[in-house]
Amino acid sequence: MKIGLISDIHGNLEALEKVLEYLTTEEKVNNIIVLGDIVGYMANPNECVQLVKKYDCIQGNHDFAVTHIEFLDYFNPIAKEALLWTINELTIENKNILKNLPLTKLYKEENFTISHGTLINPEEFLYLYNIYDAYENFQVMETKLLFVGHTHVPKYYVLDKSNSPATIEMTSHIDYDYKIQLEENKGYIFNIGSVGQPRDYNNKSCFVIYDTVEKSIKYIRLPYDIEKTAQKIKKNNLPNFLYKRIFLGI
């Protein structure tokens, strides 16, 4: 079975449509899973919610903030301004969809878990930044694999228990299509990057495919119509920095 995992769409309809088309027509995945932050920052929150609502989705911090206004105080001024715009744009139906999404989900048969941020207090949407964060999450994982988003930066961590003491290695700078073969006695945490607003100095959408038969993970980088997305940001008077950053991948 092939599973497409995507995260951090952030209202970027052009990127989402391109990625979904690739997953369904090119890769012919059996399932698509969304790791949160469907909305926020960009100009098509309603369309993005409607496109992904048929898939397995969990809640990101921007999705949570839509119906928990007090949570906006935790956001920087640019993110907060975009979220206030998003809250005003979203339909009641789509707000309710976001409100009712779970924070995490465990797939027992396929042996993986999904969370927007860390598994440690998922309701706080903490970032999984480094090996120390990975170590804490490996301690509480109930499955071989954990997929996260939130940082918008793709990287992965490998726990090797065959060493004494156990070791954790981190791989980052995944700016091209990249495949990892899973090994039997190791644990893995994958940050799958961002579809709608990559921040690793690569403006191409980033997502992964988990092949349960091959036992492999494949990172994909896919270009989309950035100019069209950027013009919508300008048209809706969203913060100018959001216009700039999608071109730069920051």
pLDDT tens, 228-244?
A: 999 999 999 999 999 99
| Helices and strands (H and E) in the chain: how many | 8, 12
d(CA 58, CA 39): 12
User: Cβ distance 142 to 177 under 8 Å?
Assistant: no
User: Cβ distance 155 to 169 under 8 Å?
Assistant: no
Task: Tell me the pLDDT tens digit for each residue of 109-168.
Answer: 999 999 999 999 999 999 999 999 999 999 999 999 999 999 999 999 999 988 878 899
Q: What HEC string does 22-76 produce?
A: HHHHHCCCCEEEECCCCCCCCCCHHHHHHHHCCCEECCCHHHHHCCCHHHHHHCC
User: Cβ distance 222 to 10 under 8 Å?
Assistant: no
Task: Tell me the pLDDT tens digit for each residue of 12-54.
Answer: 999 999 999 999 999 999 999 999 999 999 999 999 999 999 9
Q: At what angle do helices 45-52 and 92-99 cross, to 10 degrees?
A: 50
Q: Residue 187 is part of a domain; what is its CATH number?
A: 3.60.21.10
- Parent domain of 20: 2-248
Q: How many domains does the chain have?
A: 1
